[in-house]
Structure 1
Amino acid sequence: MCAAAALALAGCWGGPADDGEDDAADGASFEAAPWPMFHGRPDLAGAAPGRLPRKLTLRWRFQADGAIKSAAAIDPAPLDASGRDARVFVGSSDCHVYALALADGRKLWAYKTAGGVEAAPLVLEGAVYVGSNDGVLYALDAATGTLRWEYETGGQIPGGANWARSPQGDRTWILVGSYDMLLHCLDAGTGQVVWTHETGNYINGTPAVGGGRIVFGGCDALVHILSAADGSPVATVGTDAYVAGSAALADGRIFVANYQGRFFCIDLETQRILWHYGDDESPFYSSPAVGPRQVVIGCGDNKVHCIDRGSGRSLWTFATRGNVDSSPAICGNRVVVGSGDGRLYVLRLSDGRQAWSYEVGQPVTASPAVSGGWVVVGGEDGAVYAFGPEP
């Protein structure tokens, strides 16, 4: 049975107030922006505009009947500090997709699938597109949760969907990978196949879209680069080990990590590897977030790593007590990330110092969604947690 409770509890504060480098904010004014998909936008850069409040407060907790490994999506309605008019969409291993009110966590609707939902929802043009471990991509009405169409792939869908425009600009395409080894491109309105691209193994993550390209990795140890116009292959880049997470795109660069502990920066146009970081074989399940001059990623060595974008040099690491499979999000001078030690952390992007943390008690492998001063994340305890400004 699922329930939501409105709470007014603060998380455990992680130390004294920061110095002048800190750009966290007090007060009730925060920049409103959507977070409608995994890592916020099609390039999967994982960066939200604006700032987080100096002190986050647990505003509500929603309990599902199964672990929440899915990243949440926040409906791109106008947001303010009250959270009015905004909705949260999230999947659970209890075989449901939930729509919740951001303001108080009320369940607005739930849609039952035939398999657990680990993939992040995509909210676009009044619909929610979400894959399930039953191998089906569901298109649901965002307002009511009714089924618009469904599309069956040949394997489970662990990664979130992305989207692109047709070359003529008159159609929206939905892009999703599957364990059937195919990347599927579907018409958003009808669910009809536009094209598919075959790879050599499972596809785990969300495909990134930017610069006229679609970029994704998989268990074939390759980074695939396709034309966004028609899905035709442009190139592949070998990484020597399978890619469990998603790539991020920024300024003509691909940032992607593999299971053997290597993180790569690849030129999108030439496909040349510009640098790589790490070689201790601790696996990267996390996907990178891209800041102004750095990239941040979690690792199986229990650490959050911050790397210089230009050189691949380590800028800082932050040690937790569990694997960091959660994909971080950046907001101003803040990094938000979960850990297998059961805590949600907020770190300073500038130096990796802990600014705040909250103890969930069970591993946090889901990736946080950040919008308008709110942070929404799920835990393996089956709960969705929403943190925001003090009411």
Structure 2
Amino acid sequence: MKKGLVSWKRWLVGAAAVGLLGGCGRTQYYTNPEIPRGPSHPPVDYFSVDWWAPLAPPQTLEYAPREVASPAYDPDNKHVIALTRDGYVRAVGPDGKVKWSFRTAIRFNAGARVSEGIVYVPGGDGVLYALDSATGEVKWKYTAGESLATVPVLANGLVLVASESDTLFAVKAADGVWAWQYRRDPPAGFTVRGASTPLVHEDSAYVGFSDGFVVALSLADGSATWEKSLSGSGSEFLDVDTQPVIDDAGRLYVASYKSGIFALEAESGDMVWNTTVGGVTALVSRGQLLFATGDGRVDAYLSDSGRLLWSLPLGERAAFAPVFAQGMLLVPIQRSLLFLDPKTGKSRVAWNPGDGISATPFVRGSQVFVLSNNGYLYALDVNGIRG
């Protein structure tokens, strides 16, 4: 594996460089390690691959495999925690080898959270698991009874996780005992798959729901401080599935799939501004900029006014939740992972390690962990944009 890894790594970066030098940053680069490639010696090095691990390769006759759970990282044991479509939780070491595994009943809808030696796993089987991050041993389980759909969030001794059925559960991190829950009735019509990961700020949790509402909840007991409808009337695709983001001025940003992005006062829910661009499913903020991804596009806005700075069309492809790494915006678009210049929206590299990428990568400094749709876990070293 070592020899194959070296030659493949050299080809990967070389292919990326060829696309850049030719002015074709959005060209797809297929770098499945199962396919042999020739070496090259590029003058440009945006990223390289440290290692890969085949965790859940596609099975015979499996059509369009999808891995949607973002990897997590355990700093104590230096494990990458990957949740895959075969229902397994795996801890992968820095050598690319699986250190332990734990099996659940069905596939996952979201990734895990690691904190103080515990891996909190949102089960698609409706169970929230707390596992020892060193061994995979079960510490406790909470049976929610609803398929869990968001990365768990820890705050004030609680674990917060939302279900596909519009319930936000709060359980005690120490023992998994139920603390409170908040539920809204889903609309009668079609909804967008997914759920809003709660944002915790001070003593409140902000979360969206498929009926088009965003709600501020007290962490103490789950009572609603305020509720605001963003999607207006109707019964289909009203979803507020974005994880809210907040800036230093106390302004909250959240998006309705139907009605666009909203800037709200976090204390009251009062609207500051609203765009009219629908189809947004994820937001991320950086400084004075707000980046939005969703149906066929990636956008950048000024966060104080909502003014559009640039937009990158993606055709039929959907863009999933992005992350920042070494000054670059990394956007999974199902077919590949885009490396964008956040100032201009220009795509520097489009990397496809086989069957594309749907899960948001995990960033740890210059190291980025990527789970591809063909069930391979990759560790990348990202150099980013110089200067």
Q: Does the alignment reach a TM-score above 0.5? A: yes
Check conservation: 1:117, 1:131, Cα contact below 8 A. yes
Matched with 2:288 is: 293
Work out whether 1:360 is the aligned partner of 2:358.
no
Gaps of 5+ in 2: 24-43, 59-65, 188-193, 232-237
Distance 1:211 1:379, change over 3 A: same
Alignment equivalent of 2:49, drawn from 49, 58, 61: 58
Q: What does the per-residue CA deviation read over 1:101-129, in whole Å, with 9 as the maximum and x for residues that have no partner?
A: 2x332111111001211211010111000
The 8 Å contact of residues 4 and 63 in structure 1, kept in 2 or not, is answered as no
Structure 2 Cα separation of the partners of residues 94 and 142 of structure 1:
20
Secondary structure at the aligned position of 2:220 is classed as coil
Q: Match of 1:305, as an amino acid?
A: D
Q: Which runs of 4+ in 1 moved over 4 A?
A: 3-6
* Map 1:191-230 → 2, pairs under 5 A: 191-201=176-186, 204-230=195-221
What secondary structure sits across from 1:7 in the alignment? helix
Native 8 Å contact 2:319 2:331 kept in 1: no
CA 1:343–1:231 in structure 2 vs 1: closer, same or farther (change >3 Å)? same
2:325 matched residue in structure 1: 331
Q: 1:92 to 1:107 in 2, by over 3 A?
A: same
Secondary structure at the aligned position of 2:321 is classed as coil
Deviates more, 1:194-203 or 1:347-356: 194-203
Contact 1:304 1:324 in 2 (8 A): no
Q: 1:178 matched to which residue of 2?
A: 163
Deviation at 1:356, TM superposition (A): 2.7
CA distance in 1 between partners of 2:253 and 2:2 (Å):
37
TM-score (norm 1): 0.79
Quote the residue 1:35 is aligned against: none
Deviation at 1:389, TM superposition (A): 5.2
Aligned position for 2:71: 72
Describe the shift of the 1:54–1:86 C-alpha distance in structure 2 as closer, same or farther (beyond 3 A): farther
How many residues get paired? 335
TM-score (norm 2): 0.80
Match of 1:121, as an amino acid? A
Within 1, Cα distance between the matches of 2:364 and 2:256?
29
Q: Pairwise mapping of residues 261-272 of structure 1 onto structure 2 (< 5 A)?
A: 262-272=260-270
Computing the radius of gyration from Cα coordinates, the structure with the larger value is: 2
**Residue of structure 2 aligned with 1:249, choices 246, 251, 256:** 246
Stretch moving more, 190-199 or 355-364: 355-364
Q: What is the alpha-carbon distance in structure 2 between the residues aligned to residue 5 and residue 115 of structure 1?
A: 36
Give 1:137-176 correspondences, 5 Å limit: 137-165=128-156, 172-176=157-161
Point out the structure with the larger helix share: 2
Q: Give me the whole-angstrom Cα distance separating, in 2, the residues matched to 1:115 and 1:185.
A: 22
Shift of 1:339: 0.6
Rounded to whole Å, the distance in 2 between the matches of 1:250 and 1:256 is 12
Residues 198 and 207 of structure 2 are in contact (CA less than 8 Å); yes or no, is this contact kept in structure 1? Answer: yes
Give yes or no for the alignment of 1:96 onto 2:88.
yes
Asked if the contact 2:52/2:377 (under 8 Å) is kept, the reply is yes
Aligned to 2:35: none
In structure 1, the partner of 2:308 is 314
What are structure 1's unaligned runs of at least 5 residues? 19-52, 78-84, 166-171
> What is the distance in 1 between the residues matched to 2:380 and 2:4?
11
Cα shift readout 1:134-153 (whole Å, capped 9, x = no counterpart) = 11111110010111111111
2:102 match: secondary structure: strand
Contact 1:177 1:206 in 2 (8 A): yes
For the residue of structure 2 that corresponds to 1:299, the secondary structure is strand
* Alpha-carbon distance in 1 for matches of 2:80, 2:102: 14
Q: Percent identity?
A: 26
Number of the residue aligned with 1:107: 98
Change (3 A) 1:377 1:261: farther
Task: Give CA deviations for 1:184-216 in whole Å, capped at 9, x if unaligned.
Answer: 111111100111222223981311111321011
Distance in structure 2 (CA, Å) of the matches to 1:4 and 1:132: 35
> What is the CA distance between 1:131 and its match in structure 2?
0.8
Q: Which of 345, 349, 361 lines up with 2:338 in the alignment?
A: 345
1:376 lines up with 2:369 in the alignment: yes
In structure 2, relative to structure 1, the CA distance for the partners of 1:385 and 1:5 (3 Å cut) is farther
The answer to whether the Cα contact below 8 Å between 2:109 and 2:150 also exists between their aligned partners in 1 is yes
What amino acid is aligned across from residue 306 of structure 1 in structure 2?
A
Compute the displacement of 1:263 (Å). 1.5
Q: 1: CA distance between counterparts of 2:144 and 2:242?
A: 20
Contact 1:133/1:157, CA 8 A, preserved across alignment: yes
Q: Secondary structure at the match of 1:323?
A: strand
CA deviations 1:310-331 (Å, max 9, x no partner) are 1101111223354334201123
Moved more, 362-371 or 118-127: 362-371
Whole-angstrom distance in 1 between the partners of 2:241 and 2:268: 23
Change (3 A) 1:383 1:332: closer
Q: Distance in 2 between matches of 1:373 and 1:297?
A: 23
Displacement of 1:180: 4.2
CA contact (8 A) 2:326 2:382 kept: no
| Distance of 2:2 and 2:128 partners within structure 1 | 27
Amino acid at match of 2:257: Y
Equivalent residue number for residue 27 of structure 2:
none
Deviation at 1:16, TM superposition (A): 4.9
Is the 1:177–1:205 Cα contact (8 Å) retained in structure 2? yes
